[in-house]
């Protein structure tokens, strides 16, 4: 297999089920991305597409959206700093705040 794609979904729902707030769900979901990419690397998968945000997410209340975008930005920064991953933002990037919409 050369390419795999995954949609990150259900972190808020997972958090609610476990009595946690949405921020904790988003944070734990972001942490799983690291594990997933390691697995892909070990399996020899060269290209990975990770869908981290839908336009529907942009309609969340301002506070929750700010938390979500901050977690996504931190995830992108961590992956870029690792140096093993080439990151490209795809889709409606014009809807994202500046640093999140850049390719690294």
- The residues annotated as belonging to the active site are 9, 57
Cβ neighbors of 94 (< 8 A, separation 6 or more) are 101
State how far the Cα of 29 lies from the Cα of 27, in Å rounded to an integer.
5
């Amino acid at each position: 297999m050369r390419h795999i794609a995954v949609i990150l979904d259900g972190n808020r729902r997972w958090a609610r089920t476990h009595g946690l707030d949405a921020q904790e769900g988003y944070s734990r979901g972001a942490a799983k991305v690291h594990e997933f990419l390691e697995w892909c690397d070990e399996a020899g998968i060269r290209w990975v597409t990770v869908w981290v945000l839908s336009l529907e997410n942009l309609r969340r209340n301002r506070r929750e959206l700010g938390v979500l975008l901050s977690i996504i930005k931190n995830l992108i920064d961590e992956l870029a700093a690792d140096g093993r991953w080439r990151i490209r933002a795809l889709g409606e990037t014009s809807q994202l705040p500046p640093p999140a919409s850049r390719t690294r």
